[in-house]
Amino acid sequence: MSLRDKMLAVIDDVNGSVAEREELVEMIAIALLARKNLFVLGDPGQAKSYAINLFRQHITGARQFERLLSKQTDEEQLFGRVDLSSLIPGSIPDSVLEGDGVYQTLHFDLKCA
């Protein structure tokens, strides 16, 4: 069975389980084949997540990042906290310093002093 045949079988199966979501299912397939991300926006209760999860169940080893957004969702919740010190040229990010044993020893010694 070719990749095309497999993809068409998955599309048909998902379309048979989800009513009136043919365009979404097609976009999922295109994003998967192109190895690109897919951002799905719509009103609640339109089976967006259901269609995506149903499609994903057919793909061995598929990974998915899912986040329910609302008007109160901010950038920090999506992308994490920005380390402002990493934006300064020549500075060392905290994550690098915390992984260094010498830095940890000196930091501990300063706290005890």
Q: Quick check: is 48 in a domain?
A: yes
Structure tokens at 27: 């976009």
Rank 53-57, 68-72, 107-111 by mean pLDDT and report only the highest. 53-57
3-state secondary structure of 28: helix
Instruction: Identify the CA nearest to 11 among candidates 54, 66, 65, 61.
Output: 54
Structural tokens at position 61: 């080893």
- Quick check: is 79 in a domain? no
In a domain, 107, yes or no: yes
59 and 101 share a domain?
no
Mean pLDDT across the stretch 73-88? Answer: 77
Angle of helix 3-17 relative to helix 22-34, nearest 10 degrees? 150
Is 71 among the domain residues? no
pLDDT at 93 over 80: no
Q: Is 46 within a domain?
A: yes
Residues 12 and 56 in one domain: yes
Range of the domain at 101: 85-112
Same domain as 96, residue 46: no
Is residue 75 situated within a structural domain?
A: no
Total structural domains within the chain: 2
Q: In this structure, are 9 and 40 located in the same domain? A: yes
Mark whether 61 and 89 lie in a shared domain: no
Does 106 have pLDDT greater than 90? no
Same domain, 7 and 59: yes
Q: Across 22-31, 35-44, 68-77, which has the greatest mean pLDDT?
A: 22-31
